[in-house]
Amino acid sequence: MLVRVLSLIPIVVCLAAAGNADEIRFERDIRPLLSDRCFSCHGNDSQQRRAGLRLDTYSGATAARSESRAAIIPGNPTESELIRRITSPDPALRMPPVEMGKSLGREEIRKLTSWIQEGARYEIHWAFQPPQAERPPRVENRDWPRGAIDHFVLARLEKEGLTPAPTADPKALLRRLSFDLIGLPPTRDELASFQHDWVRHPEAAWSAAIDRLLSSPRLGEKWARWWLDLAHYADTDGYTIDYDRPHAWRWRDWVIDAFNQNQPFDQFTLEQIAGDLIPGATTGQLIATGFFRQTLSNREGGANLEEFRVQKIVDRTATYGATWLGLTLECAQCHDHKFDPITQREYYELYAFFNNADEININAPLPGEQDRFDRAIVVYRRQWAELVAPVQPDLNALMRKWEQMMRSAEREPGVDYKRDRALELLGILWGAGQGEGQLEGIRITRIPGAQRTQRQEERLLTYFLARGELGLEREFDKLNLLELKKQIDALDKTLPPISRPQTLQAAMFPRQTHIGRRGDFRSPGEPVTPGTPQFLHPLSSSGLPVTRLDLAQWTISEQNPLVARVLVNRIWQELFGRGLVATPEDFGSQGGPPTHPKLLDWLAVEFVRSGWNLKHLLRTLVNSATYRQSSNMTAEHVQRDPDNILLSRSTRQRMPAELIRDAALAASGILDSRLGGPSVRPPQPTGVTEEGSYNAKWQTSTGSDRYRRGIYTWIQRVTPYAQFATFDLPNPNRSCSRRDQSNTPLQALTLLNDPVFVEVSRALAGRIIRETHEWDHSEKLRYVYQVCLARDPTQTELAHLSKFVNQRTAIHASRGGSLSQQKPLQRIEPAEFLAWVDLAAVMLNLDEFITIE
């Protein structure tokens, strides 16, 4: 009862206790000090080591020494040579040496002293040590476990004196498995044949169902979504103008395909971090790196180019950290991380990888596009040359002058306002509405003329004519370029489009990265080169300078203690509702400790051993007895394990926004099952997009595009699709590793009254009538239950609903049984149809309908 009461009280505030600030922690307080002041001569690097002393390991620091006492004597700071030396009044003895210019402050000395006093522990946070697969523990109940996972889970339950829940009903299991693996409910046929097989051989039936679902192309559509959340994918630029990115979906489809092909996660990672740097990269690999092009583009005039460029690099760095390392790196933008052993310098070393990448869109023609383009370009170029000929060579000279202006504005800003402004416009507006890279236009002006492609020249001219006038007004007038602009614009329209998805490319003109003082790019501090945090495994590079490809390889190194744990935890969360680490974005010392640390490690090791095989991981998880438990809650659950931390049952999960849509469309039989393609705009109430944004418009899709799966719905950053926003679509402007599962009246209003769900309830009613017209009430209701909830109704439910349909039929009949817009179906009275619409609406609004049980 207590939990029930609590669940109705609004959250008021979180006062979660932060760690005790006074407690000395090695990783937070000591390691950075030693690293900064001592390790350059007494660290890991044997070449640089002085006096044979190393302070980066416990054994080195406490080793007996011939000419003095040990540097550190645990528990005894006054006898420790280290303390003696750092506090020595004699400049010849004092450490660090005076000439190093890095003497220790009083507070720092106090910290070192207390740390030694407390035993000089060199502890390493659990997540930063490599995972070890231990043999699964013994359990009392030998019958229950079906694999290693269950041993870990059961051992913990037995320790707590709890027993696992019974296996769920087979129909409930198939519905759960189906939603979990492909995001759609089982069909009636699938349900029937599964039940049939289950009776004869449950294990074989289960295994066959897993096989069938793992090989379904629907799997990618379901499993791409959490990855899109991490990348914060959307179909628009964001910010004021929120222009379209018409080719963004190419990366989304790449992700869907990668999951369907079961691309090994290490390769999946490599291609997204540095697909462009793989020798002989395919178009697909280039598109993959579009992961990092989900950053926002501000195309508002007055924006400072560098400020917004830096914001994107900050976003990329943070997104990288949350996605692959499970670390919150943002803190270290302004200062050393307070909790995790990442310094501000190390942050900027990681940042440097992304700082040296240019936003670029690549030609990736869809079938047919290239042929059409190749045919048209011949004519285009001939006409182009004819149009331009009368003003040549003056136009050529003027453009070179303008390019010169752009380059000097870049070198010496602040000299001429118009010049600065023209550069800014070129930077922010290039390719607007096409989702093209900002600064790409500026990049082209920096490429020597002879090295540019003809297409680059043509596009530069189009841009120049449209926006290059500022500061060159007289020349424009003299050459009558505004007229030429009209002609070139018209000509450009004759050129068939080539799809140009977004990606990154190694910077054409490398940038030096500096530490931003207090995180401000306007006050550059020390220069840094690309690198990875010291507290993790070393970065090995094939050469200098180190590149994003090195970062990618470092990320998927088997020595990386984080990446496999982070991944298996995130997949676990998707299936079980809660990660073994409840903070999937934070495996640092502020994150939640794992509830089952050994299980997490076992899964991580097994995952890498399997060749980073995602489908194998999914199979391992859903095959477990843990997964197959019933989700029913008993009084004991409420009392002993209300949040299901111990996994004493299966956790019910409200479906994510997209799956609610998919479930409704599937139940009513109107789901369009085409795979992939451009994003679509299903119906939503008028004005949703327009009222919340500057100038975006929602052009509702037509035909079967209205009934596509949720994953294909256009994501307008500033005003996301209403139904999705109501059901906790994460803010598409930031990386998200854990969605909310809220429960609000607006959700009720959506399912009751939103035009999509109204249409679905009518379609479902139509389907019932079409497919069951000769059946009696109970058979009809049984059909509805199977289609909507993948189970049969209970006797009580049957009785209630049967009465409901009769009553509703009578009411509709009493009103004449017909609606203005309604087309009566054959063989049925409209009143009865309307009653089934009522029933369909009831079904779509049940808690069970939108919940994976």
Nearest CA-CA partner of 590 in 18, 127, 122: 18
Choice between 253 and 340, CB closer to another protein:
340
Is 116:74 a contact under the CB 8 Å cutoff?
Answer: yes
Choice between 236 and 355, CB closer to another protein:
236
Q: Indicate the length of the chain as a whole number.
A: 853
How many of the other CB atoms lie within 10 Å of CB of 290?
26
CB of 533 to another protein, least distance (A): 16
Exposed/middle/buried for residue 300 (C-beta within 10 Å: 0-12, 13-18, 19+): exposed
Helix, strand, coil shares of the chain as percentages rounded to 5? 50, 5, 45
CB of 640 to another protein, least distance (A): 13
CB of 169 to another protein, least distance (A): 11
Choice between 811 and 828, CB closer to another protein:
811
CB of 753 to another protein, least distance (A): 4
- Position 679, amino acid: S
Is 171:191 a contact under the CB 8 Å cutoff?
Answer: yes
With a CB cutoff of 8 Å and minimum separation 6, the contacts of 103 are: 94, 96
Distance CA 680, CA 712 (A): 6
Choice between 44 and 240, CB closer to another protein:
240
SS3 769: helix
CB of 451 to another protein, least distance (A): 31
CB of 663 to another protein, least distance (A): 16
CB of 674 to another protein, least distance (A): 28
Q: Are strands 502-506 and 513-516 parallel, antiparallel or unpaired?
A: unpaired
CB of 845 to another protein, least distance (A): 5
Is 419:408 a contact under the CB 8 Å cutoff?
Answer: yes
CB of 481 to another protein, least distance (A): 15
Distance CA 792, CA 786 (A): 6
With a CB cutoff of 8 Å and minimum separation 6, the contacts of 585 are: 322, 326, 328, 591, 735, 737, 738
SS3 805: helix
Choice between 13 and 450, CB closer to another protein:
13
Choice between 148 and 325, CB closer to another protein:
325
Distance CA 200, CA 197 (A): 5
Choice between 52 and 642, CB closer to another protein:
642
CB of 747 to another protein, least distance (A): 7
Is 328:585 a contact under the CB 8 Å cutoff?
Answer: yes
How far from 823 is each of 68, 175, 630, 759, 826, CA to CA, in Å? 98, 33, 43, 13, 9
CB of 744 to another protein, least distance (A): 5
Choice between 539 and 582, CB closer to another protein:
582
Choice between 66 and 796, CB closer to another protein:
796
Choice between 451 and 821, CB closer to another protein:
821
Is 555:564 a contact under the CB 8 Å cutoff?
Answer: no
Choice between 13 and 544, CB closer to another protein:
13
Choice between 80 and 747, CB closer to another protein:
747
**CA 824 remoteness from chain centre:** 46
CB of 13 to another protein, least distance (A): 4
Choice between 359 and 469, CB closer to another protein:
469
Mapping DSSP onto H, E and C, the string for 182-248 reads HCCCCCHHHHHHHHHHHHHCHHHHHHHHHHHHHCCCHHHHHHHHHHHHHHCCCCECCCCCCCECCCC
The full DSSP string for 493-549 is: HTSPP----EEEEE-SS---EEEEGGG-TTSEEEEE-----TTSPPP--SSSS--HH
CB of 721 to another protein, least distance (A): 12
Choice between 238 and 468, CB closer to another protein:
238
Sign of CA dihedral 115, 116, 119, 123: positive
Choice between 620 and 747, CB closer to another protein:
747
SS3 727: coil
Choice between 282 and 731, CB closer to another protein:
731
CB of 512 to another protein, least distance (A): 19
Nearest CA-CA partner of 787 in 659, 667, 655: 667
Distance CA 556, CA 391 (A): 56
Tokens of residue 625, six digits: 């007895």
Choice between 211 and 847, CB closer to another protein:
847
CB of 309 to another protein, least distance (A): 14
Is 278:549 a contact under the CB 8 Å cutoff?
Answer: yes
CB of 159 to another protein, least distance (A): 22
Tokens of residue 235, six digits: 């179909």
How far from 470 is each of 444, 488, 560, CA to CA, in Å? 19, 19, 52
CB of 566 to another protein, least distance (A): 14
Burial 240-272 (b: 16+ CB within 10 A, else e): ebbbbbbbbbbbbbbbbbbbbebbbbbbbbbbb
Choice between 345 and 654, CB closer to another protein:
654
Mapping DSSP onto H, E and C, the string for 90-108 reads CCCCCCCCHHHCCCCCHHH
How far from 157 is each of 30, 141, 541, 577, CA to CA, in Å? 38, 11, 46, 18
CB of 308 to another protein, least distance (A): 9
